[in-house]
């Protein structure tokens, strides 16, 4: 059952030194490939990083998160920037009509950087993490990194941006499930978002 798998997942940052077989890497990539996306645009490229020297450099770019060095595999989820030309700004104006004027005034470069289709790769990553877990492989998402430096390191063209890194490997110790909020704390029905719900 899917919920059983979901309940087993927790972030893993301590990995053993064991390569992930190619067929499992392909399984993980395939799980990402079939993700949904707005308009089925699939605005992504998946960087498969299995070179240890490159992994070390990426750990430095990720504000020196040293644990990343132990990962056997990084997948960098890259997404292209929905430029003004492709109607990206219009979508944002439609979503936030009260800010239409401000969105219109935003500097083009800043707008592009802030409006990458990052949210789309979150679904890809979720598929990948679960596909990996099915094969006993742990993972952790990494968003805390210098985007420009990683772009340069991977040789990405200007139209693409690295949105997420996911670090994969076989866990060194038993995975401990992280405590989550209870259902009561996070749901509300219909229009009943009360002050109590907010806390």
Contacts with ligand FMN by CB under 6 A lie at 10-11, 65, 140-144, 178
Report in angstroms how near the CB of residue 76 gets to ligand FMN at its nearest.
13
Report in angstroms how near the CB of residue 29 gets to ligand FMN at its nearest.
19
Q: Compute the distance between CA of residue 89 and CA of residue 94 in angstroms, rounded to an integer.
A: 9
Q: How far is the CA of 45 from the CAs of 6, 32, 36, 130, 179, in angstroms?
A: 25, 10, 14, 19, 33
Q: Compute the distance between CA of residue 152 and CA of residue 155 in angstroms, rounded to an integer.
A: 5
Residue 89 vs 131, nearer CB to ligand FMN: 131
Q: Compute the distance between CA of residue 118 and CA of residue 20 in angstroms, rounded to an integer.
A: 27
Residue 25 vs 71, nearer CB to ligand FMN: 71
Residue 108 vs 119, nearer CB to ligand FMN: 119
Report in angstroms how near the CB of residue 189 gets to ligand FMN at its nearest.
26
Residue 65 vs 72, nearer CB to ligand FMN: 65
Beta strands 160-169 and 73-80, pairing class: antiparallel
- Cα angle, residue 109 at apex, residues 108 and 115 outer, rounded to 5°: 90
Report in angstroms how near the CB of residue 138 gets to ligand FMN at its nearest.
10
């Amino acid at each position: 059952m899917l919920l059983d798998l979901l309940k087993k997942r927790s972030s893993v940052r301590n990995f053993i030194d064991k390569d992930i077989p190619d067929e499992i890497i392909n399984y993980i990539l395939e799980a990402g490939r079939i993700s949904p996306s707005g308009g089925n645009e699939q605005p992504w490229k998946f960087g498969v990083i299995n070179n240890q020297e490159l992994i070390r450099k990426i750990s430095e770019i990720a504000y020196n998160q040293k644990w990343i060095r132990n990962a056997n595999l990084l997948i960098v989820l890259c997404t292209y920037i929905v430029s003004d030309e492709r109607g990206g700004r219009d979508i944002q104006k439609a979503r936030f009509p009260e800010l239409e004027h401000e969105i219109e005034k935003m500097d083009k470069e800043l707008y592009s950087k802030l409006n990458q289709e990052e949210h789309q790769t979150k679904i890809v990553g979720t598929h990948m993490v679960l596909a990996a877990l099915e094969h006993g492989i742990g993972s952790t998402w990494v968003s805390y990194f210098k985007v420009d430096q990683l772009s340069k390191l991977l040789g990405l063209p200007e139209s693409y941006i690295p949105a997420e890194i996911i670090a994969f490997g076989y866990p060194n110790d038993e995975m401990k499930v992280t405590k989550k909020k209870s259902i009561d704390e996070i749901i509300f029905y219909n229009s009943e978002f009360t002050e109590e719900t907010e806390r």
